[in-house]
Structure 1
Amino acid sequence: MRTSTPVSPSVSADRWAALGALALGYVMILVDATALSVVTVRLMEGLRTDVRSVLWVSSAYLLAFAVPMLVCGRLGDRFGHRRMYLLGLSVFLVASLACGFAPTIGALVALRVVQGFGAALMTPQVMAIITLVFPMESRGAALGVWGSITGIATLAGPLLGGVLSDVASWRWVFWLNVPLGIVGIVMTLRFVPGSTVTARRLDLPGAALSAVAVFGLVYGLQEVGGNGALPWLTLGVGAIVAAAFLAGQRRRGDGALVPLRLFRIRSFAASSGVNVLAGAWVTAYVFPATLYAQQQHGVSPGGAAFLLAPTALVSALLAPRVGRSLRRRDPRGLLSAGLAVCAVGLGIFVAVIAAGLAAAWLMVPSAVVGVGSAMMWGPMSLLATSELPRDLVGAGSGVFNTTRQVGSAFGAAAVATVLAHGSPAGALALAALVCLAALAASFRLRRS
């Protein structure tokens, strides 16, 4: 076994510069995941295709993002987190440039797969690098800033997509990544330190099984309600392969792709469970709320997105303050309080829609959810990483990010099923129930 001692930034300013470098790449991932949601018509016109084909532009990206996440987290442990982040950023940059020149819908979907793989390489390294670079006393503040950046990027994606498609072309959604990606590479080389490298073999059989399992679960959940029995068959295969994968991981011990001793760390295991449910309700509440504004009050898609903007804006303003407060506050209590506030906000959404109030009233519960979100994401990430041993930081980051992706797929499938047989109020009530389940799960952290 060969190890190299991790290099830490010499001064605090270097740590924050490293966070800025990572933020630039992560913002591109989030913007590209959401920006195309408002340019569907432009894509259909420009590439002369139908709406189902255009939906695969986003689905292909999200699948390629979620499926290799476990493997990519472990690659950071094996080859170095900065090295894998730079590789992922380079792949993402080149794929973005090519996406902008895509001549057909088939080419665009294929290139989005490559782009999603680059995003998967980058994402688990981000949490790992933050964990390694920031000591515990300042990690909460760093994660608070990170939560603020995430909120701003989530809001900026649809707005940027709409503006670029109006004044130029949907292709600029991708081309804008090129100069940003180059700056991100330069900043990463300058400010982000290297990390421990362990010379151990990658669990290739586990990597293959995990990819099949995650694909089966995520694709099956995405497609439930359509395509007949195929999604259910895919879900069943994914569940069976997942069981085989976990059995194999138990036999491989610490050489496994997902060492099961991760789940003996109570703070990590409980945080990951909360993360699944959080990913589900966050995904489940947006679509029924915007659907209500458009169907019942004739609001445009851009206007409907604007009504939910307070969530991102309030979260972006409060998250850094919450992060700084983690030096003196128990993150477990903040996480539970944040989930409780989010549940209240979702309940207000249900009340607004059930009463048939004007669409502008949606901004009130949106702001309440923003307050709760600011109190939720930073503490949950801090708890997930607080007790991880250094050699499992990459694996833990991969697992934690994968749980959110699986939860998001579950939330999307659940809300689609409810909307097919019910109303936006019913779908939002389901989101509120899932949020309450996340609140109940957070109490396991309070007992740890």
Structure 2
Amino acid sequence: MIEKHAERLLALARRHGATDAEVSVETRRAALTRFANSEIHQSVAEDTVRVNLRYVHGRRHGMAATGRLDDAALESLVERAAASARGTAETDDWPGLPEPGPIPEVTGASAAATRAATPELRAGVVREVIAAADAAGVGAFGSFATGAVTTAVLSSRGVRAAQTRSDAWLVTVHMSPDGGTGYAETCAVDVADVDGAALGREAAAKARAGDHAVALAPGEYPVVLEEYAVVDLLAKLGRCGFNARAAQEGQSCAEPGVRIASDLVTVWDDGTDPAGLPTAFDYEGVGKQRVTLIDRGRCAGLVHDTRTAAGAGIHSTGHALPAPNPVGPLPTNMFMAPGGFSREELLGRLDRGLLVTRFYYTNPVDPKRGIVTGVTRDGLFLVEGGEIVGPVRDLRFSQSYLDVLRGVSAVGNSRRTLRGWYGGVSVLGDITVPAVLSDSFRFSG
């Protein structure tokens, strides 16, 4: 259905005088159930559409967007995009719109159960979370979202790409009356893979274990980073490091061929892997390529969109974001190779260190060196002799995430798929990671 609207918009743009045009149409059906103080208090749903038009006239190009599909809205969209193009100077390095190319066949991107998920289904999962909190004597807070996104990208060059994706995303924070907090999260294509009871128990146990936290002196500690923390490492480095635009502008913390992590770290991006939230193409309609980002500690590659690829003299790897895009291409389906250690074995290698559940409010302050500032949250524990001895209060840090990866001395043998947050970028991304042990993490207080 949305392809018909896109074809109509392309025809309108050509009749208006565009020498080239690209249309992306994305429809989203999303529903959300929120809970607080161990009670469900809100269930909402929305159907939205976003239409982007890139209008090209010679070496001038402009764009406009709308949230409607009626004739008047599409005609206005063309006029605004044309005016945007007329108001820009000719661009010498404009590579043009991408030519059509192969799009990989992707399986497991959408599940009927997720697309059809009802408020009652979500409420049932949330009640499992709340039951686990009640059993531990803590309060449950969070949300459970289900939805589906259909994306179509068409261009006057012959690009024709369309796909539907679904995702279910459950996040909960449990709060103890004695001060402890616990966090748990999961995301999946199929809502049937979301285990509310298991997540509830995880968050509740962490909250209770965090009661009566004590202050710990700032300093440098070896750390076991749980998967929630490792996701933040890779997401920030994905934006600051493996983004070809950042590299071409001299702002990247990564350079192909240079050692940036320990030999135990291998990271790649693969939109076709059904272990994550798969997608076949990017927002330019270019098929996704698997890109190795770190190969046994060495930076192996960067992700590209059409513009950065032209600057490098190569083809796009299929990592463009929706236009206008001030960020550049991003790896939005990242994976880290597992290792050989259980969680208990990772902790057992700590003589005296910290177990970190997750990071919060993190922001890059020196992208070139991969330095990020933030704070720990929802579970920070002192470990001595390989055993957790008690909770400690959250600590702030300004730490090079590259140095953390260089210090990795052991990697967990299981992985979790979680949502990826890239900082101000609204994309459906996922990161699949294990826990890791890093020999040094500096906390400032």
> TM-score, normalised to structure 1's length?
0.26
Greater relative contact order (Cα < 8 A, sep 6+): 1
> TM-score, normalised to structure 2's length?
0.26
Whichever structure has more helix as a proportion of its residues is: 1
- Larger Cα-atom Rg: 2
